Copies of this chain bind each other. A is one copy, B any other.
């Protein structure tokens, strides 16, 4: 399989800027993992002529066209009509899809009758492969015509993601000789340019697996992608590369195929049956929020204190007034006292704290924007780290919370904390 793909998103709401085309991002990531090149994204509105023009052009330069959006029941939804016309297919009624739509409605709205326009969604191109939709009403589909393969997916991001993952990817893999498997190492504590510079020579000579670096908000990723006859063989191509990378980057690698630092921390806490609490100043609740974004956090996360004012650092966390007077709220000493106070007040095994200057202005002691202290209190003592978290309020808070999670991860895996 050596496809050249083009993505066409259909929806006036995209051209008005009501939403961003995140479907294209998600599909591009997935197609890249499958080794399929994407050369163009196009967005058109709910307009048959302009959609037709985009499809006719795509036919001349791609052998895989994936559309998103325009499959629903309202008159705006035109993708199937236009695509069928462009490829000389008739739309035919599919009773199986109609029944699924009726069932979906009965389940979701037991109290009101389904309007007939919903059954338009069961009209599908003759001879297509139907992608049944367990996450909404509009089925997707795929067909091949004149050497071009077409896949149509619904537009709502949640449906599009699920339909791509559970319907389109298996369909594409069935067409391929062999499989494509990838594995993503997640790193914290190294910059993107340092990571890339270290790997430049290796990456240039690698063909299978390939290695792709990514960076976002203070974190880095390395994706290893192998093509092979079967899954087992792909894994055995990936394993030595992973070992080599782990050798190079050591304990900066915090996991493989894992979503985030807080997921790594949650797994470690559960495995070691330890509880966590937080004491937050500049991060203002972000560390607790990230922890509780994860289902199942309640097993190990007890809670936290957002001590945004000095009074609450004193009254709730018991930070001594003289520490605050002498060193100021943004100091290693206060970070330490906050973490220790949270551990005591919340009755947890471990507590992390963050105090710093998120900006836009320096604090009243002249500490610069971006200076943050994070601390971890444990039964073996308290660790403090000084961080320069860059600039921009959001970035500073994000990076500060990364560091708090990194302290917990390093402690629970027995690594040196510095």
Task: Please indicate the chain B residues that have their CB under 8 angstroms from the CB of A15 in the complex.
Answer: 28, 38-41
Q: Is A302 interfacial (CB-CB < 8 Å)?
A: yes
Take A26-B17, A393-B293 as given contacts and tell me if A312 and B302 are in contact as well, using a CB distance cutoff of 8 Å.
yes
Task: Please indicate the chain B residues that have their CB under 8 angstroms from the CB of A307 in the complex.
Answer: 303
Q: Is A172 interfacial (CB-CB < 8 Å)?
A: no
Q: Are A22 and B20 in contact (CB under 8 A)?
A: yes
Identify A44's interface contact among B40, B47, B287, B304, CB under 8 A: B40
Of A21, A27, A301, A360, chain B has the most CB atoms within 10 Å of the CB of A21
Task: Give the CA-CA distance A83 to B64 in the complex, in Å.
Answer: 28
Q: Is A331 interfacial (CB-CB < 8 Å)?
A: no
Chain A 203-218, CB-CB to B under 8 Å as 1, else 0, gives 0000000001010000
Q: Are B41 and A50 in contact (CB under 8 A)?
A: no
Identify A41's interface contact among B14, B283, B293, CB under 8 A: B14
Q: Are B284 and A286 in contact (CB under 8 A)?
A: no
Identify A40's interface contact among B18, B22, B42, B214, CB under 8 A: B42
Chain A 320-344, CB-CB to B under 8 Å as 1, else 0, gives 0000000000000000000000000
Q: Are A295 and B24 in contact (CB under 8 A)?
A: no
Identify A308's interface contact among B43, B301, B358, CB under 8 A: B301
Q: Are B311 and A347 in contact (CB under 8 A)?
A: yes
Q: Are B312 and A308 in contact (CB under 8 A)?
A: no
In the complex, which residues 252-268 of chain A have their Cβ closer than 8 Å to any Cβ of chain B?
none
Take A24-B21, A42-B40 as given contacts and tell me if A287 and B284 are in contact as well, using a CB distance cutoff of 8 Å.
no
Q: Are B20 and A24 in contact (CB under 8 A)?
A: yes
Of A291, A306, A393, chain B has the most CB atoms within 10 Å of the CB of A306
Q: Are B308 and A306 in contact (CB under 8 A)?
A: no
Q: Are A28 and B50 in contact (CB under 8 A)?
A: no
Task: Please indicate the chain B residues that have their CB under 8 angstroms from the CB of A308 in the complex.
Answer: 288, 292, 297-298, 301-304
Task: Give the CA-CA distance A321 to B311 in the complex, in Å.
Answer: 27
Nearest CB in chain B: distance from A361 CB, A: 8
Q: Are B285 and A304 in contact (CB under 8 A)?
A: yes
Chain A 28-53, CB-CB to B under 8 Å as 1, else 0, gives 11111000001111111101001000
Nearest CB in chain B: distance from A57 CB, A: 7
Nearest CB in chain B: distance from A379 CB, A: 18
Q: Is A233 interfacial (CB-CB < 8 Å)?
A: no
A residues whose Cβ falls under 8 Å from a Cβ of B = 14-22, 24-32, 38-45, 47, 50, 54, 57, 158, 212, 214, 278, 280, 283-289, 291-293, 295, 297-298, 301-309, 311-312, 315-316, 345-347, 358-360, 392-394, 397
Closest 9 CB pairs of A and B: A284-B292, A17-B28, A285-B288, A17-B29, A285-B285, A41-B43, A285-B289, A304-B306, A303-B312
Write 9 A-B pairs (CB below 8 A) sorted by A numbering.
A14-B25, A15-B39, A40-B44, A41-B43, A158-B392, A284-B293, A304-B308, A315-B346, A316-B346
Known interface pairs A15-B38, A17-B25; 4 further A-B residue pairs with C-beta atoms within 8 A, sorted by A's residue number: A17-B27, A17-B29, A278-B285, A285-B285
